[in-house]
């Protein structure tokens, strides 16, 4: 990596490494794809995560799979800069997506607010349903990603073609879900590329 020439006039990470914005988006999409793929495979193939191979359930396994898509030293440098925050963001947002609706449903049943004859209970139920629908709408992107991933048989190149044809840029699509998850957990946004 000693032969990387930096552009000190650039403001974006990709430009500093003499890469295009498209290169940066591609790297973010690869990280996103491999992060979600790991979660989906763990859920679908293993009842008990402890028996799953370590290369499916660890960050190092995700990094190893992502590195297979990178050709240039500049891409490798940008990958590690982006990976540090994006992997955790996507992992956390996917976790929220999987568990938020269940949590709201439990809260509704725990509060015993099925009784519409009480105006206070009806209002609580209305608000919780509105929150659930808003969250579901913002996190439905994960359904789209997972469906395209399965349609592509977990092949990134095929996934990228299918997803971009149907929905456009993956990183832009997921940014709203990540921001919502961060906001709901009080996590501050990190500046990225």
- The per-residue b/e assignment along 75-107, b for 16 or more CB within 10 angstroms, e otherwise, is bbbbbebbbeebbebbbebbebbeebeeebeee
Please tell me the pTM assigned to this model. Answer: 0.73
Tell whether the model's pLDDT for residue 192 goes beyond 50: no
How crowded is residue 23: how many other Cβ atoms within 10 Å of its Cβ?
19
Give pLDDT, residue 110.
Answer: 63
Q: How far is CA 88 from CA 58, 94, 132, 162, in A?
A: 12, 10, 23, 25
Average pLDDT over residues 188-193: 45
For 70-74, 76-80, 120-124, 137-141, which range has the lowest pLDDT when averaged over its residues?
120-124
Cα 67-69-71 angle, rounded to 5 deg: 90
Q: How far is CA 40 from CA 54, 117, 166, in A?
A: 15, 41, 21
SS3 label, residue 183: helix
Identify the H or E element spanning 82. helix 73-110
Cα–Cα dist 90/34, whole Å? 10
Average pLDDT over residues 91-114: 70
Average pLDDT over residues 173-185: 74
Tokens for 5, please give them.
Answer: 């020439």
């Amino acid at each position: 990596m000693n032969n990387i020439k930096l552009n000190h006039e650039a403001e974006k990470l990709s430009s500093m490494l003499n890469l295009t914005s498209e290169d940066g988006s591609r790297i973010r999409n690869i990280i996103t794809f491999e992060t979600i793929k790991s979660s989906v495979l763990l859920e679908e193939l293993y009842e008990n995560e402890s028996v799953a191979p370590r290369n499916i359930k660890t960050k190092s396994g995700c990094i190893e799979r992502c590195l297979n898509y990178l050709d240039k030293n500049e891409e490798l440098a940008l990958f590690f800069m982006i990976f540090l925050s994006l992997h955790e963001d996507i992992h956390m947002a996917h976790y929220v997506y999987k568990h938020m609706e269940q949590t709201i449903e439990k809260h509704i049943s725990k509060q015993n607010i099925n009784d519409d004859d009480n105006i206070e209970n009806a209002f609580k139920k209305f608000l919780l349903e509105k929150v659930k629908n808003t969250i579901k709408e913002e996190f439905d992107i994960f359904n789209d990603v997972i469906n395209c991933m399965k349609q592509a048989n977990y092949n990134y190149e095929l996934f990228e073609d299918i997803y971009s044809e149907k929905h456009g840029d993956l990183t832009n699509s997921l940014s709203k879900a990540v921001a919502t998850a961060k906001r709901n957990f009080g996590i501050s946004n990190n500046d990225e590329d």
